[in-house]
Amino acid sequence: AQSVTQLDSQVPVFEEAPVELRCNYSSSVSVYLFWYVQYPNQGLQLLLKYLSGSTLVKGINGFEAEFNKSQTSFHLRKPSVHISDTAEYFCAVSDGGYQKVTFGTGTKLQVIP
Amino acid sequence: NAGVTQTPKFQVLKTGQSMTLQCAQDMNHNSMYWYRQDPGMGLRLIYYSASEGTTDKGEVPNGYNVSRLNKREFSLRLESAAPSQTSVYFCASSAFYEQYFGPGTRLTVT
């Protein structure tokens, strides 16, 4: 069985400061890892994904994440946040079976002007 | 190209009433999913369909039924709504491990 843990339910950060949103996963097989973003009153959209290859993955809107197999982590980072980054961020894992995805409980990023 | 569409956007039901949530995608994806989103619980998979003609239970299937009408459409039915089914429901389709979500249906059961 696969699972995802997002330890921080809310992360406040000042505008133009760096941010890291933490994600740890567990799975008995090789995994595919994802970060999705949900803006208020909208569906989720993909920020970035790790399927294989380089462990540093770059996504949209200046976000990046690093796959660390030994730490079973996939933390999301951005060097300088903007007000428009205020949203809820979901980490997700898939073992590839039927393309089923397990989502974490989400982290609300609040960017403070 | 509309992506994934869902109807209705909002719905209020009384306990015991039934309703069907509609979902359609125009991306020719084989796999489709229904999730519910509750505060502090992330997204939980209700049912999924790996291809036309097949459906399987997810994490929280009790109280729901689904129909994969054709490749485009995947509906979710609540036969006898309960207050515990108050939630936001998302439909998604997927290709190459990326999921594409609809805008959601906000359902309140009183």
What tens digit of pLDDT does each residue of B43-65 get? 999 999 999 989 999 999 999 99
Please name the residues in contact with A40: beta carbons below 8 A apart, sequence gap of 6 or more: A87
| CA A73 remoteness from chain centre | 10
Q: Where does residue A85 fall: left (phi above 0), alpha (psi -120 to 50 degrees), or beta otherwise?
A: alpha
Task: Tell me how far apart the alpha carbons of residues B73 and B5 are, in angstroms, rounded to a whole number.
Answer: 10
Contact yes or no for A14/A80 (Cβ under 8 A) = no
- Do the strands A19-21 and B4-7 form a parallel or antiparallel pair, or are they unpaired? unpaired
Per-residue confidence (pLDDT) for residue A63, from 0 to 100: 97
Contact yes or no for A104/A24 (Cβ under 8 A) = no
Per-residue confidence (pLDDT) for residue A27, from 0 to 100: 78
Residue B61 contacts A where some CB pair is shorter than 8 Å: no
Per-residue confidence (pLDDT) for residue A29, from 0 to 100: 74
Per-residue confidence (pLDDT) for residue B29, from 0 to 100: 94
Which residues of B fall within a CB distance of 8 Å from A101? 45, 94, 97, 99
Confidence tier at A98 by pLDDT (50, 70, 90): low
Residues of chain A whose beta carbon is less than 8 angstroms from a beta carbon of chain B are: 9, 32, 34, 36, 41-46, 49, 51, 90, 94, 96, 98-106
Contact A43 B98 (CB under 8 A): no
DSSP single-letter state for residue A20: E
DSSP single-letter state for residue B70: S
Chain segment B9-18, per-residue pLDDT in tens: 999 999 999 9
- Do the strands B10-13 and B105-109 form a parallel or antiparallel pair, or are they unpaired? parallel
Instruction: Pick from A38-47, A80-89, B51-60 the range whose average pLDDT is largest.
Output: A80-89
DSSP single-letter state for residue B53: T
For residue B42, count other CB atoms closer than 10 A to its CB.
19
Contact B102 A43 (CB under 8 A): yes
For residue B30, count other CB atoms closer than 10 A to its CB.
15
Which residues of A fall within a CB distance of 8 Å from B99? 36, 44, 46, 99, 101
Per-residue confidence (pLDDT) for residue A97, from 0 to 100: 61
Residue A97 C-alpha, separation from nearest chain B C-alpha, in angstroms: 10
- Tokens 């290859």 -> residue: A53
